[in-house]
Amino acid sequence: MRRGAIMAGLAVALAVGGLVLWQARPAAQGPLVLGGNVDIRELNLAFRTGGRILSLAVEEGDRLAPGDEIARLDAAPQRAALAQAQGALDAATAAETLLKEGARAEEIARLAAEVAGTEAALRNAEATYARQKALKTTSVSLQQALDSAEAALGQAQAAHEAAVQAHLAAVTGARPAEIAQAVAQRQAATAARDAAQIQLDDTVLTTPEAGTVLTRAVEPGAMVAAGTTVVTLSLDTPIRVRAYVGEPDLGRVAPGTKVLVFTDAHPGAPYHGTVGFVSSRAEFTPKQVETQSLRSALVYRLRITVEDGDAALRQGMPVTVRLAAEAG
């Protein structure tokens, strides 16, 4: 009797323990469903130089290809600046060329003739001074003539030396330092000309990538400063989705995970995407994202790149994300 009671108690204990273990088992992992929004990159396009808007070639909603013209500035000031810079460059180039080529043969011959002329004048001044000096007299007039001859001799010597040095400089050519200075001046003028050309090129604004015009911020005739937004462009690619996942499901959405993106407009035709980025920092669930858990729960942001996106995906559109491996 006592043994039977013990066996009955043991059976009850085993049953209760089994029930507790069954209730404590991990719940089956259900399909992962995430809420998110379409996140398309936007570009604020502006001129790199200021001026008056001459024309605007786009309207809101226009689709643009890379290189399409958006707007144009009145380029009269930039054309004038370019012409001035080009003139300065031409002058600097000519000065450099003159220094490198040196004096012409005709110029050297002229300077040689000047040397000969001043040498003759010097010889005459020397002879005159010698005659006046040979006269031994105390006459005031003769002394004055000697002084004049001495002064004339000094002038003749200076003129001859100047002619000799000018001829030598023409024959020798410019010094290396002078040529280096001319080269530097020409390079500075080239840089100024190139800067003026860039300013002129910047009077035409084109689109760098394909996209759709969202806003047209200015009108023809308006004065704009450099950097003022002219249009805002929504880029065609890449189209991304910003979604959020809770910490318990973080391991199910590693970078490279394939997902399906559903829209309310076409729930039966999902887009295909790939998880490209998982934030390493937790944040509170944004108010615009609906999740199964409490809104105050900490989540991690995902960036999903849509591989087959089209114009039906618009900025901020709410979407539902499911794992492609769980579809079916």
Residue that wins the pLDDT comparison between 144 and 73: 73
* Residue 163 pLDDT grade (very low, low, confident, very high; cuts 50, 70, 90): confident
CA atoms within 13 A on the CB side of 168: 6
Residue with tokens 């100047």: 162
- Region 239-253 average pLDDT: 87
Residue that wins the pLDDT comparison between 99 and 95: 95
pLDDT of residue 134: 74
* Residue 92 pLDDT grade (very low, low, confident, very high; cuts 50, 70, 90): very high
Tokens of 223: 């004065």
Portion of the chain with pLDDT greater than 90, in percent: 35
Per the DSSP assignment, residues forming a β-bridge with 318 are 37
Per the DSSP assignment, residues forming a β-bridge with 38 are 241
Peptide bond preceding 77: is omega within 30 degrees of 0, i.e. cis?
no
Tokens of 215: 């806003």
The reply to whether the predicted model has a pTM over 0.85 is no
For residue 127, is pLDDT > 70? yes
C-beta neighbour count of 274 within 10 angstroms: 15
pLDDT of residue 281: 80
Residue that wins the pLDDT comparison between 147 and 195: 195
Measured N-to-C along each axis, helices 140-172 and 105-134 cross at an angle, to the nearest 10 degrees, of: 160
pLDDT of residue 294: 46
Which DSSP helix (H) or strand (E) runs through 145?
helix 140-172
pLDDT of residue 14: 47
Position 194, amino acid: D
The average confidence (pLDDT) of the chain is: 81
Residue 321 near residue 35 (C-beta atoms within 8 A): yes
What CA–CA distance (Å, rounded) separates 298 from 313? 27
Stretch among 79-93, 160-174, 198-212, 308-322 having the lowest mean pLDDT: 160-174
CA distances from 185 to 133, 142, 192, 307 (A): 55, 58, 11, 55
Measured N-to-C along each axis, helices 176-201 and 76-101 cross at an angle, to the nearest 10 degrees, of: 160
Neighbouring residues of 205: CB distance < 8 A, sequence distance ≥ 6: 45, 46, 47, 69, 70, 71, 72, 230
* pLDDT tens figures, 81-90: 999 999 999 9
* Residue 53 pLDDT grade (very low, low, confident, very high; cuts 50, 70, 90): very high
* pLDDT tens figures, 270-303: 999 999 888 878 776 665 555 445 444 678 888 9
| Pairing between β-strand 69-73 and β-strand 258-263 as defined by DSSP bridges | unpaired
In order of their start, the domains of the chain are: 31-40+237-326 (2.40.30.170), 44-73+202-232 (2.40.50.100), 81-198 (no CATH)
